[in-house]
Structure formats: C-alpha cells, structure tokens
Structure 1
C-alpha cells in the first residue's frame, strides 16, 4: 500500500468518484495552463487497475489521503 496525504481543502465525498474521470477539475477558476489538464488521477487509476490494484480517497482531517493498493508479487 502507498499512502499520500495532504493538508489542503480535500475533496468533497460527493466528488471523489468523479475526480478519477479524465479532464475533471473541481475548481472552475483553474485554467488548463495553470491548473493542470485533469488527467493525473485518471492515469493513476488506470495504471493501478492494470496491475490488479485499487485507489481510494479518504479524509485526512484536514486534507485528503489517497491510498493505492497493489497486490503482492512472487518476486519474479
């Protein structure tokens, strides 16, 4: 498991599934050249799924915690 935690404003529970969609930006004031293209979490989710894992977002109080779980390998 890999955990990334920040102390920012977090993501509302109602939007946590949506942020994994391509080109999703929750802040309408952010421009593409200043706020990203909204692809980061979509790429993470797809890569993790391809390796049999999951990504979950949770409250970190304050902030947000992203948990990436990948299956153990046999070392080969």
Structure 2
C-alpha cells in the first residue's frame, strides 16, 4: 500500500512542482512540510488542502461492491 507521503510526492511530480512550492501554497514552511512528509501523518483536512493546492480532489472512502461509499 502506498503511503500518503508517496502519493503526495507523485502528485507534486505530476504537476511539475516542488515540495517547497506546495508548502508555501498550504501556508507552512518547507522545513515543517518536510518533517510532516517524514512522519507521514496528515489529517484528512490537510490532504484535502494539499489536493486543492495541486488542483486535484482528495478522496478517501470505503467503497463496497454495490457502489456504496462511506
């Protein structure tokens, strides 16, 4: 399973941006963001803000075979 930090790194690369750029976009310092990436501890709202800064949508859900998402 891919970690959130790995997903964020891939999304940053896809957009052709840097971690420092993203840190500034979400209102933190590059140093603080780098520390968060090392610990890989992000809240859902933080992931949503990161996605917004990258022009994406963050989606986390339990999806069942009948199409139900929780």
TM score, norm. by length of structure 1? 0.27
Structure 1 or 2: more helix by fraction? 2
Q: Which has the higher contact order (CA 8 A, sep 6+)?
A: 1
- Larger strand fraction of residues: 1
Larger Rg belongs to: 1
